[in-house]
Amino acid sequence: MPCAAFRRTLLLCLLSTLATAPLIAQAITQAVAAPAPVAYVYVGTSKGINLYNAASNGKLTLAPVRHSRPRG
């Protein structure tokens, strides 16, 4: 029965689409919740250089990068 096989395939496709909808919504929410930094601030310390992201409201957050040792 080709009709039954078509229905099963269609059902699997619809279920796959519905299963990915929450993941897409979560990705969109995270992208909106985390605005891009307006500036990068480098701060030299005795232990190395720290990179901070500066938001438009003035808030600084430590960027998720490895710290580097100063040279020279």
Residue boundaries of the structural domains of the chain = 1-34, 35-66
pLDDT at 47: 83
- Sequence letter at residue 59: K
SS (H, E, C) 1-18: CHHHHHHHHHHHHHHHHH
Residues 42-55: tens digit of each pLDDT: 988 888 888 898 98
pLDDT of residue 1: 52
Q: What is the pTM of this model?
A: 0.43
